[in-house]
Structure 1
């Protein structure tokens, strides 16, 4: 679904992203781990079109993400570290408005069904989202991604600031996106979340993808050891 090849970005003499290559298949989750300055956020910003790469390619379902940006944008969903919604609207009203802006046709009953599927309760459906926690706002964004039928969902530090219960709820909700066949790329510092959620785990350091690990039989202690080996290299 997502193919990234030979992606590079320079800031002066700093090689922020160095010849990056990876793929994320439909129904697959890739978590990118790395210390601050490893190149994770720059990679995410290039895929989002916020900054232009100096060279390389990114293709979403056969469509060039840089030469056919508008077509790709319709197939993507970005969930930032802190999801911003209209605080005086309910979750249903927020999604209705966002769907109208995006040209996505939805009906209220479908919105409610998907919100409940992502963990928003009947009582919370009628509350203004100004009182929602970070985890609840994320659930609204994920519900919109499901309604939008996004082919690719990009997330930036989604578990930052979440307590253990909210983190586990987040993991279970993201699995609903995976089950729909969506490709998911998560930039995170959270090794436990990556271990519980990802199909692939990429470890970045100094702009390079040092390791790309299949999360099949991988133990958390082994992942932690491999991560810190790259961090200290």
Structure 2
């Protein structure tokens, strides 16, 4: 679904992203781990079109993410660390407005259905989202990704600030979109969440993808050792 090939980005003499290659298949979750300055955020910003790579390519379901930007944007969803919604709107009103902006024709019943599937309860549907926690706002964003039938979802530090219960709810909800065949790329510092959630884990350091590991082959102590070995390498 997503294929990143030989991606490079320089800031002056700093090689922020160095010849990056990876794929995320349909129905697969990849977590990119790394310390601050490893190149994770730059990679995410290039995929989002916020910054332009100096060389390389990113292909989403056959579409070039840099030269077919508008078509790709229709196929993807970005969920930032803190999801910003209209605080005076309910969850249904927020999604209805976003759907209207995206020229999607959906009913309130369809919106309610996806919200409930992501864990928003019946008595929360009529609450203004200004009272929602970070985890609840994420659920609203993920519900919109479901409604949009997004082929790729990009997430930035989604578990930052979540308590253990909210983190487990987040994992459950992300598995919902995975089951729909969506490719998911998560940039995170959270080793435990990455281990519980991902199919593959990429460990970045100094702009390079140092390791690309199949998660089922790892225990959490193994992952922790792999991660910290990058600082002593």
Shorter-chain TM-score bucket reads over 0.9
- Runs in 1 of length 4+ with deviation above 3 angstroms? none
* Unmatched runs of 5 consecutive residues or more in structure 2: none
User: Distance between the aligned counterparts of 1:228 and 1:99, measured in 2?
Assistant: 43
Q: How far did residue 231 of structure 1 move? A: 2.6
Partner of 2:216: helix, strand, or coil? coil
Which structure 2 residues correspond to residues 168-207 of structure 1 after superposition, within 5 A?
A: 168-207=168-207
Q: How many residues get paired?
A: 233
1-side partners of 2:142 and 2:111: how far apart? 11
Give, in whole Å, the separation in 2 of the partners of 1:52 and 1:137: 29
Pairwise CA distance, 1:105? 1.7
CA deviations over 1:102-160 (Å, ceiling 9, x no partner): 11221111110110110001010000000000000000000000000000000000000
- The TM-score normalised by the length of structure 1 is 0.99
Q: Shift of residue 199 of structure 1?
A: 0.2
Looking at structure 1, the residues matched to 40 and 46 of structure 2 have their Cα atoms a distance apart, in angstroms, of: 10
> Is the contact made by 1:34 and 1:231 (CA closer than 8 Å) also made in structure 2?
no
Structure 1 residues 31-52: Cα deviation after superposition (integer angstroms, max 9, x where no partner) = 0000000000000000000000
The Cα of 1:221 is off from its aligned counterpart by 0.3
Gaps of 5+ in 1: none
Distance in 2, Cα, partners of 1:173 & 1:232 = 36
2:177 alignment partner, SS class? helix
TM-score, reference length from structure 2: 0.99
Give 1:115's aligned residue: 115
CA-based RMSD of the aligned residues comes to 0.5
- The CA deviation at 1:168 is 0.4
